[in-house]
């Protein structure tokens, strides 16, 4: 997956033709015009096939001495001959478009050339050979641009980075560079970038792991872009809860996930998935979570989701949360919400950054809004046992208040844990932020006598 961020463009906002084309692209993506896409796929295959044929026929060294018009005439003649041999019937407009696309393959960046020339586009985001998004007027939208396959995509990436003296391959799978026109390029290729249906929040409600009322609050927390820390012991269901909550993220947002091993199962279309890589037998080539968190900041994320923080990447994650990446989420091993804060503080110390305990706690209190505690109880069932809110600091201490909790009352004869969910009666401070995002939550949810059956 990779990204080209174009420099700021001067001039008019957009020409009518460009707007018309944008609307047509959206129509193709939303309506699902199968005939249009089938025709586009045939066009792509033909274009790449002709490009490969041209590489055999054209003296590439001579291209440097020829103008684009001369090259276009030369390429046009060869394309015409090849089309005649293969008995492809194209009208004049289609043939002209094909020649232009072949020239883009030969001299430019292939399918990306029209996007780079479009002054209304500020970001080009490629999540795979068949999934390309653009940012236009501050909003992400799908583009009908396609590459033939992953090899075609990788060839274009290599063409971009080699022009600035960089490389990207298995031994060096990330690159961050700036092109001559000021456009910034960030690329991450396999094995760090990764291409079953998870348990949903509805299912968690159905099996009694989360009350329906609390699920509504969690949905509001995600919609209001609050930063969330999910805490729990081994096998307590942290990743399951993270998957369930992530389903509430708007489809229009770009999500970057970072994991040691791919466990997250986000269902949104616009997800860039990164996975760490251990060192090879020579002790080289390791890509740690911290490296990926730093690189994720260059990938134009709306939200960053880290599968689990274990070490110094906690500091980088907090920095991301504090600098505009609202709505980010992560998990941590801890037995209580208070312990989770202590664990994060210890991890900041593992980052190698010289920072006082008070400053570390200040970072935590300003970055994290909600702490969700999950647990695997003695009967084997996994439950949400606490939803707490971080409210700030008092002196040297990070202050928290519990909003909901599961109170165990006993164990039945057959070993089933007995208990009930209850509200503590505290109205969360984040309720104002939730309402500001257009989400309505009844104050009755937070009454201590609320029924959670």
> Residues 91-113: pLDDT tens digits?
777 777 777 777 777 677 777 88
pLDDT tens per residue, range 421-441:
999 999 999 999 999 998 888
Task: Flag whether 330 is in a domain.
Answer: yes
Kindly state whether residues 207 and 169 are assigned to the same domain.
no
Give the CA radius of gyration of the chain: 26
Three-class secondary structure of residue 300 per DSSP: coil
Residues 238 and 138 in one domain: no
Cα of first residue to Cα of last residue in the chain, in angstroms, is 45
Examine residue 136 and state whether it is found in any structural domain, yes or no. Answer: yes
**3-class secondary structure for 96-157?**
HHHHHHHHHHHHCCHHHHHHHHCCCEEEEEEEECCEEEEEECCEEEEECCCCCCHHHHHHHH
pLDDT at 310 over 90: no
Residue (of 389, 345, 394, 391) closest to 371 by Cα position = 389
Range of the domain at 61: 2-189
pTM of the model: 0.63
| Amino acid 51: pLDDT | 63
Instruction: Please report whether residue 95 resides in a domain.
Output: yes
What CATH number does the domain containing 280 carry?
A: 3.40.50.300
Looking at the structure, tell me whether residues 85 and 132 fall in a common domain.
yes
- C-beta neighbour count of 72 within 10 angstroms: 17
Select from 189, 210, 231 the last residue of a domain. Answer: 189
Helix, strand, coil shares, percent, the chain, to 5: 40, 25, 35
In a domain, 96, yes or no: yes
Is the same domain home to 345 and 232?
Answer: yes
Burial of residue 160 (CB within 10 Å: 0-12, 13-18, 19+) is: buried
Domain end: 137, 165, 189, which one?
Answer: 189
> Domain containing 136 — which CATH number?
3.30.450.90
Confidence at residue 42, expressed as pLDDT on a 0 to 100 scale: 57
State the pLDDT confidence band at 196, using cuts at 50, 70 and 90.
very low
| pLDDT over 70, % of the chain | 75
Collect all residues with Cβ–Cβ distance below 8 Å to 48 and sequence separation of at least 6. 105, 148, 152
pLDDT confidence of residue 289: 84
277 and 165 belong to one structural domain: no
Nearest CA to 226 among 78, 436, 434?
434
Domain boundary among 135, 158, 189: 189
Provide the edge-to-edge strand list for the sheet that holds 417-423.
193-194, 271-275, 255-259, 303-306, 329-333, 228-232, 370-376, 382-394, 397-411, 417-423
Does the pLDDT at position 41 exceed 60?
Answer: no
pLDDT at 134 over 50: yes
Does 451 fall in a domain? no
User: Which residue has 């010289």 as its token pair?
Assistant: 354
Q: Tell me: do 405 and 432 sit in the same domain.
A: yes
Q: Structural domain tally of the chain?
A: 2
Q: Tell whether 268 and 149 lie within a shared domain.
A: no
CB 188 within 8 A of CB 176: no
Q: Is residue 453 part of a domain?
A: no
Per-residue pLDDT, 164: 63
196 belongs to a structural domain: no
Count Cβ atoms below 10 Å from residue 433 Cβ, excluding itself. Answer: 17
Which range has the worst mean pLDDT, 53-62, 314-323, 337-346, 441-450?
A: 53-62
CA-based angle 215:239:171, to the nearest 5? 145
What digits encode the pLDDT tens for the residues 328-362? 999 999 999 999 999 999 999 888 888 899 999 99
- Find out whether the peptide bond into 348 is cis, omega within 30 degrees of 0: no
Asked, for residue 302, whether it belongs to a domain, the answer is yes
183 lies in the same domain as 229: no
Q: Are residues 260 and 169 in the same domain?
A: no
- How many C-beta neighbours within 10 Å does residue 270 have? 21
Per-residue pLDDT, averaged over 267-275, amounts to 82
Strand-strand pairing, 382-394 and 370-376: antiparallel
Do 138 and 35 lie in a common domain?
yes
175/283 same-domain check: no
Same domain for 305 and 420, yes or no, is yes
Count of residues making up the chain: 453
């Amino acid at each position: 997956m990779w990204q080209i961020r174009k420099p700021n463009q001067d001039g008019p906002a957009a020409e009518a033709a460009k707007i018309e084309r944008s609307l047509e692209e959206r129509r193709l993506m939303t309506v699902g015009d199968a005939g249009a896409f089938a025709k586009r796929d045939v066009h792509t295959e033909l274009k790449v096939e002709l490009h490969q044929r041209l590489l055999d026929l054209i003296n590439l060294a001579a291209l440097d001495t020829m103008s684009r018009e001369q090259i276009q005439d030369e390429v046009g003649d060869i394309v015409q001959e090849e089309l005649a041999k293969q008995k492809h019937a194209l009208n004049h407009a289609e043939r002209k478009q094909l020649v232009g696309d072949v020239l883009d393959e030969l001299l430019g960046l292939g399918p990306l050339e029209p996007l780079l020339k479009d002054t209304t586009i500020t970001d080009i985001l490629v999540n795979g050979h068949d999934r390309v998004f653009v940012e236009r007027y501050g909003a992400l939208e799908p583009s009908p641009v396609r590459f033939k396959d992953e090899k075609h995509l990788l060839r274009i990436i290599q063409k971009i980075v080699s022009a600035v003296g960089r490389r990207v391959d298995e031994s060096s799978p990330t690159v961050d560079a700036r092109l001559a026109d000021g456009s910034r390029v960030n690329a991450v290729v396999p094995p760090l970038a990764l291409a079953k249906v998870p348990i949903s929040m509805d299912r968690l409600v159905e099996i009694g792991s989360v009350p329906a009322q609390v699920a509504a609050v969690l949905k509001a927390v995600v919609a209001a872009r609050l930063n969330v820390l999910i805490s729990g012991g081994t096998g307590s269901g942290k990743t399951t809860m993270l998957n369930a909550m992530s389903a509430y993220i708007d489809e229009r947002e770009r999500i970057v996930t970072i994991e040691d091993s791919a466990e997250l199962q986000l269902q949104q279309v616009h997800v860039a998935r990164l996975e760490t890589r251990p060192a090879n037998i020579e002790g080289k080539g390791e890509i740690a979570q911290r490296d990926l968190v730093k690189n994720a900041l260059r990938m134009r994320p709306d939200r960053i989701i880290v599968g689990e923080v274990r070490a110094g990447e906690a500091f980088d994650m907090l920095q991301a949360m504090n600098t505009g990446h609202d709505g980010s989420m992560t998990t941590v091993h801890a037995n209580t919400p208070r312990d989770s804060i202590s664990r994060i503080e210890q991890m900041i110390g593992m980052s190698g950054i010289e920072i006082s305990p008070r400053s570390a706690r200040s970072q935590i209190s300003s970055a994290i809004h909600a702490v969700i505690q999950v647990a695997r109880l003695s009967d084997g069932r996994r439950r949400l046992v606490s939803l707490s809110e971080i409210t700030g600091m008092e002196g040297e201490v990070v202050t928290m208040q519990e909003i909901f909790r599961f109170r165990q009352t006993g164990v039945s004869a057959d070993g089933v844990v007995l208990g009930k969910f209850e509200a503590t009666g505290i109205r969360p401070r984040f309720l104002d932020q939730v309402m500001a995002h257009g989400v309505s939550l009844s104050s009755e949810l937070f009454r201590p006598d609320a029924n959670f059956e």
